[in-house]
Structure 1
Amino acid sequence: MLALAAALVGFSKTGIAGTGSLPILLFATVLPAKESTGALLPVLIIADLFAIRFYSRHVEWRVLGRLAPWVVVGTVGGAVVLWFVDDTLMKLLIGVILLAMLALQLWNRLRPKVEAPQPPSGLAQRSAAAGAGVAAGATTMTANAAGPVMVLYLMLSGFPKLRFLGTMAWFFFAVNLFKVPFSVGLGLISWHTLLTAVILIPAIAVGALIGRAVVHRINQRQFELATLVLSGVGSALLILSAATA
């Protein structure tokens, strides 16, 4: 099951980002919820390296610059939450986080569209970056679940699929590295979790290669639809797992 989860991590990083919720569910099923967040983190970093290798030329650095300070705030806040919650509450928290992210995505897709939208003002851009950055930092620290936040933010920015994937790759590589000292300090990463990640490298590589092949064979609309649908499925499954725990 962990090998399947690792392959899905690789696929989500280089192909359809919406599958990123499914590995969270699989890791949280096999391992205690808090421990699963630490065990998954090295796997995510390895998969980030594959994504950077494939899409390093397709990145919007200005967007990452706007997000960076707010992600730091959210990550620190998420680390404080992890210090105080127990395993049962952690699983429920993961489910609630993903439910909220799914609701935001559905709202964005279903709300009435304005025929001639005005470009967002500088204040609106900064406000959106602040909200997305804090939410991404908090959700990635507590549940490795910032994917839906960034999916929504980058899709609202109108990024084509390769720039979307390149920006996501560099964003999560930097954020996941930043999380490592917090996870080590909280006792969530050990030599055992690092060894597990090394053993799973072949599965990560297979998923990453499949993801790259798929993304080059679908158009922009198919890419967006698949990303949102799979985000919703993964979120719903995790919420069900939390509710029945």
Structure 2
Amino acid sequence: MDTLTLWQLVALAAASALVGFSKSAVSGANTISLAVFAAVLPARESTGVLLPILIAGDVLAVLIYRRHAHWPTLLRLFPAVAAGVVAGTAFMMWADDAAVRTSIGAILLVMAGITIWRRRPAVTGREATEESGAPPMRGGGRFKARSYGVLGGFTTMVANAGGPVMSLYLLSAGFRKLGFLGTSAWFFLIVNTSKVPFSVGLGLIDAQSLLLDACMLLFVLPGAYIGRKCVDRINQKLFEQLVIGATVLGGLQLLLR
């Protein structure tokens, strides 16, 4: 912290507030936070600093949306996610910052493109049903869950960038707004907590990173509060557009840095 300037601390504080906002309103928007942390801090080390902040946001999101989770979807995802986390840990043992940024950015843009292409006929024809936790049934569920699960586990381990991948999966599965937020909240609380031993083992979390976290956690709560106030005013179509837009923006930021 002694080497950070005032403006760098302000940028990290704003990015921490955005984590809270994304967890309670527009999941996937925290890719912008990821890019800010990676710009201010070394890219590898930034993932260790950001992880406890994400977990704090996950706890707040679970407290707000815990009743809206769809547990059958979560149970389908977790085995594939575990495989992705292991693969991501192996990747982090040899990858440099440039390889991390390029890989994650490319994955995010490809997944966003696939989701936009697949949803074109479905968005206009979908009925505006009650915003419950259960999505409509769609084909290819197991294969899609495994594919997105592995990618989500890999990207969340490598750069804490699993949010956009899982957001795209939940949108493609037909989740409505509250079901989306509740399922995403539980998913990332469990996954991010399970990543802590791996991050400690890789040297990404240490006493210095936790000291910086202690300062940045103060800004997560107001961000989550603002997000909770905003989410009821965002209709389903705009919500989905914001999630996909945040995914594309995050991918471009990682590729163009």
Q: TM-score, normalised by structure 2?
A: 0.86
Work out whether residues 99 and 239 of structure 1, in 8 Å CA contact, stay in contact via their aligned partners in 2: no
Work out which of the residue numbers 162, 187, 196 in structure 2 matches 1:171: 187
Counterpart CA distance in 2 for 1:110 and 1:240 is 28
DSSP 3-state at the match of 1:158? coil
Query: Residue 132 of structure 1: CA displacement?
Result: 1.2
Alignment map for 1:1-20 (pairs within 5 Å) = 1-20=11-30
**1:130 corresponds to 2:146:** yes
Work out which of the residue numbers 100, 103, 120 in structure 1 matches 2:138: 120
**1:183 corresponds to 2:199:** yes
Q: CA RMSD in A?
A: 2.0
Counterpart CA distance in 1 for 2:141 and 2:91 is 28
Query: Residue 194 of structure 1: CA displacement?
Result: 1.5
Query: Residue 135 of structure 1: CA displacement?
Result: 0.8
Counterpart CA distance in 2 for 1:218 and 1:113 is 16
Which string of whole-angstrom CA distances, capped at 9 and with x for unpartnered residues, describes residues 12-38 of structure 1?
A: 100111312101100110111111111
Query: Residue 105 of structure 1: CA displacement?
Result: 3.0
Work out whether residues 119 and 172 of structure 2, in 8 Å CA contact, stay in contact via their aligned partners in 1: no
Residues paired across the two proteins, number: 238
Matched residue, 1:98? 108
**1:155 corresponds to 2:176:** no
**1:235 corresponds to 2:247:** no
Work out whether residues 66 and 182 of structure 2, in 8 Å CA contact, stay in contact via their aligned partners in 1: yes
Counterpart CA distance in 1 for 2:86 and 2:186 is 20
Matched residue, 1:214? 230
> 5+ residue gaps in structure 2?
1-10, 127-135
Counterpart CA distance in 1 for 2:47 and 2:104 is 10
**TM-aligned CA distance change 1:115 to 1:15, over 3 Å:** closer
**TM-aligned CA distance change 1:99 to 1:221, over 3 Å:** closer
Work out which of the residue numbers 35, 49, 58 in structure 1 matches 2:45: 35
Query: Residue 109 of structure 1: CA displacement?
Result: 3.9
Matched residue, 2:97? 87
Query: Residue 113 of structure 1: CA displacement?
Result: 7.9
Q: Which moved more, 1:174-183 or 1:143-152?
A: 143-152
**TM-aligned CA distance change 1:120 to 1:217, over 3 Å:** closer
> 5+ residue gaps in structure 1?
none
**1:23 corresponds to 2:33:** yes
DSSP 3-state at the match of 1:84? coil
Letter in 1 for 2:235: N
**TM-aligned CA distance change 1:22 to 1:113, over 3 Å:** closer
Letter in 1 for 2:63: R
Query: Residue 128 of structure 1: CA displacement?
Result: 1.1
Query: Residue 206 of structure 1: CA displacement?
Result: 1.1
Work out whether residues 78 and 139 of structure 1, in 8 Å CA contact, stay in contact via their aligned partners in 2: yes
Work out which of the residue numbers 56, 61, 65 in structure 1 matches 2:66: 56
Work out whether residues 154 and 164 of structure 1, in 8 Å CA contact, stay in contact via their aligned partners in 2: yes
Work out which of the residue numbers 158, 164, 174 in structure 2 matches 1:142: 158
Letter in 2 for 1:141: M
**TM-aligned CA distance change 1:167 to 1:85, over 3 Å:** same
DSSP 3-state at the match of 2:28? helix
Which string of whole-angstrom CA distances, capped at 9 and with x for unpartnered residues, describes residues 204-241 of structure 1?
A: 11111111111011221121122212222222222211
